[in-house]
Amino acid sequence: MKIWTIANQKGGVGKTTTTVTLAGLLAEQQQRVLIIDTDPHGSLTSYFSFNPDTVEESVYSLFQKKIQDRRAPLASMLCRTGVDGLDLLPASTSLVSLDRQASMNQGMGLVIKDTLEQYRNHYDYVLIDCPPTLGILMVNALAACKKLIIPVQTEYLAIKGLERILNTLTMIVNSGKHNLDYLIVPTMFDRRTRASMESLNHLREQHSEKLWSEHIPIDTKFREASSKRKPASCLYPDARGVMAYRRLLDWLLSGDTDLPFSQVEIAKAG
């Protein structure tokens, strides 16, 4: 089971869109995929027509059961997305109170990681969509994953959010508890605007080693897909934006191996 977290400490940069689209593409490749909504706003949950105000079991239940020292049967919390092979662990709006509760209860940083550990044979991929703010949910999502995907909108203000999440990452890595790899993904790129070009150049100058070499273009099909409650890859497989996410997935999968590079080449050749 591979766990990827999608996060940035800035709102509206394409985190949920990246989660849904990559998950749709993985499911299309017959992978068993779980997506987890850790945002109290529940955009990912709403995307698939579930209501974060009324959903009975959610990510929140995992934390409640941890506080009450009970095992949390994940299966009863899952929602069907209508896409074969793609399950959703929804968010509920009660997640807003979690940071306060976490400050009163010890050991809340690994709740998601420990839960997924018990289900490692059930899914090939788990994608965790994060809220735009640092708190116990983002800490859980970062602690659970091996790979962090950071969507960065190609506009001036978005660079600040990137700096914040990279500082958070440094804190986590320096605490010595966890090491994880990350990839910066430029999103909503509009080549007609100066802001897009300049921020992409800035990313190339400052973060070349960890930057995906391409970008996700602005594409109205993503908004249309969200209004139809399906991943864009299911509805518009040839849309420019979907094709770009397909190339991103290829990139992620090509680096997604525990073998050293030379051994991968040998394994492929064999």
Ligand X SMILES: Nc1ncnc2c1ncn2[C@@H]1O[C@H](COP(=O)(O)OP(=O)(O)OP(=O)(O)O)[C@@H](O)[C@H]1O
Instruction: Candidates 9-17, 69-77, 139-147, 160-168: pick the segment binding ligand X (CB under 6 A).
Output: 9-17
Is 226 a residue that touches ligand X (CB under 6 A)? Answer: yes
Backbone angles phi, psi at 183, to 5 degrees: -135, 130
Site for ligand X in 174-193 (CB under 6 A): 187-188
| Shortest distance in whole angstroms from residue 223 CB to ligand X | 4
Is 187 a residue that touches Mg ion (CB under 5 A)? Answer: no
CA dihedral 107, 112, 114, 118 (to 10 degrees): 160
Is 37 a residue that touches ligand X (CB under 6 A)? Answer: no
Is 15 a residue that touches Mg ion (CB under 5 A)? Answer: yes
Candidates 36, 86, 112, 216: give the one binding ligand X (CB under 6 A). Answer: 216
Residue 188 binds which of Mg ion, ligand X, none (CB < 5-8 A, kind-dependent):
ligand X
Complex with ligand X: residue 8 or 94, whichever CB lies closer: 8
End-to-end CA separation in angstroms for the chain:
24
Site for ligand X in 111-170 (CB under 6 A): 132
Q: Is 270 exposed, middle or buried (0-12, 13-18, 19+ CB in 10 A)?
A: exposed
d(CA 210, CA 260): 18
Answer yes or no: are the C-beta atoms of 161 and 22 closer than 8 Å.
no
In sequence order, the β-bridge partners of residue 42 are none
d(CA 189, CA 155): 8
Complex with ligand X: residue 72 or 199, whichever CB lies closer: 199
Candidates 5, 9, 16, 61: give the one binding ligand X (CB under 6 A). Answer: 16
Candidates 222, 233, 239, 249: give the one binding ligand X (CB under 6 A). Answer: 222
**Which of helix, strand or coil describes residue 8?**
coil
